[in-house]
């Protein structure tokens, strides 16, 4: 009786491993297309990097008030 149980168990384990390998191969060979967009939906694929307003070579901006002498 133990022999039948072990045989069924080994066959079941082998079947599960082979089934998971075939599912993995199917997913790799046929990737899913991206989901379709709804009408009016906006997506951004690329966001450019932000530019610095002041280069590193220029100094730090200091706010000042001009005083006129009469």
Summarize pLDDT for 28-48 with one digit per residue, the tens.
777 777 777 788 888 778 888
The residue that leads in pLDDT, 20 or 55, is: 20
Angle at 14 between CA 25 and CA 29, to 5 degrees: 5
The model carries a pTM of 0.39
Q: Indicate the pLDDT class of residue 4, thresholds 50, 70 and 90.
A: very high
CA 10 from chain centre, in angstroms, equals 38
pLDDT of 13 strictly over 90:
yes
Q: Indicate the pLDDT class of residue 56, thresholds 50, 70 and 90.
A: low
Start-end of H helices in 1-70 = 2-29
Pick from 17, 36, 34: nearest CA to 25: 17
The per-residue pLDDT for 54 is: 66
């Amino acid at each position: 009786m133990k022999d039948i149980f072990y045989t069924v168990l080994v066959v079941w384990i082998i079947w599960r491993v082979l089934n998971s390998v075939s599912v993995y191969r199917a997913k790799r060979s046929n990737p899913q297309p991206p989901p379709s967009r709804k009408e009016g939906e906006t997506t951004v694929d690329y966001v450019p990097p932000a530019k610095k307003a002041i280069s590193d070579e220029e100094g730090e901006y200091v706010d000042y008030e001009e005083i006129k002498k009469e």
